[in-house]
Amino acid sequence: MKPLDDLTSEEQQNEELIIGLRRALNKPVLLSAEEQAKHLARVRERLLANEPATMGSRDLPPRLQIIAARERYNDAFLPQEAVPAAPRRRSRFLQAFNMLAAVVVVCALIGSMLLIFVYHPASNHLAAYTPTAKVQIASALVSFAPATSYTQALRTVTDIGLRPLPPSCTATMLNPNGKIEIWYAWEPPAKGFSITPAGMYIAPTPLASSDWLTRLRALPDVVTIQTTTFVFLCSLAQNGTPPPGTVVALAPQQAGTYLTVAFSLRADSYDQALQAISNLGLRLADPCLERIGKQSPPGYFAGQEQKYTVTHTLVLATTSNSPNNWQQQLTSLTGMISFQILTFLTC
- Nearest one of 191, 146, 183, 138 to 166, comparing CA atoms: 191
Mutual orientation of helices 89-119 and 9-26 as an angle, nearest 10°? 30
Q: How far is CA 178 from the centre of its chain?
A: 28
Whole-number pLDDT of residue 81 = 46
Q: Which sign does the torsion angle of CA 141, 143, 147, 148 carry?
A: negative
For 300, phi then psi, to 5°, come to -65, 135
Distance CA 249, CA 166 (A): 11
Q: Is the pTM of this model over 0.95?
A: no
Digit-by-digit pLDDT tens for the chain (347 residues) are: 545 455 556 667 677 777 766 666 665 556 667 777 776 777 677 666 544 444 444 444 444 444 343 444 344 444 444 444 444 555 676 777 777 777 777 666 666 555 444 433 333 333 333 333 334 677 888 999 888 888 899 999 999 999 998 877 788 999 998 899 999 888 887 765 655 556 888 999 999 998 999 999 999 989 999 887 666 667 778 899 899 989 999 999 999 999 999 998 876 789 989 999 999 999 999 998 898 877 888 889 999 999 999 999 999 999 999 999 999 999 988 788 899 999 877 77
Whole-number pLDDT of residue 73 = 39
Distance CA 67, CA 248 (A): 87
User: Cα dist. 3→28, 89, 90, 91 in Å?
Assistant: 27, 14, 15, 19
- Nearest one of 5, 15, 7 to 96, comparing CA atoms: 15
In sequence order, the β-bridge partners of residue 323 are 249
Whole-number pLDDT of residue 18 = 73
Laid out side by side, the sheet with 199-204 consists of 162-164, 199-204, 140-144, 222-226
Whole-number pLDDT of residue 7 = 52
Distance CA 261, CA 72 (A): 106
Whole-number pLDDT of residue 191 = 66
Distance CA 202, CA 53 (A): 91
Distance CA 108, CA 36 (A): 8
In sequence order, the β-bridge partners of residue 313 are 262
CB of 161 closer than 8 Å to CB of 207: yes
Distance CA 172, CA 248 (A): 7
Q: Which sign does the torsion angle of CA 83, 88, 92, 98 carry?
A: negative
User: Cα dist. 80→53, 69, 147, 170, 299 in Å?
Assistant: 15, 6, 104, 92, 95
CB of 116 closer than 8 Å to CB of 32: no
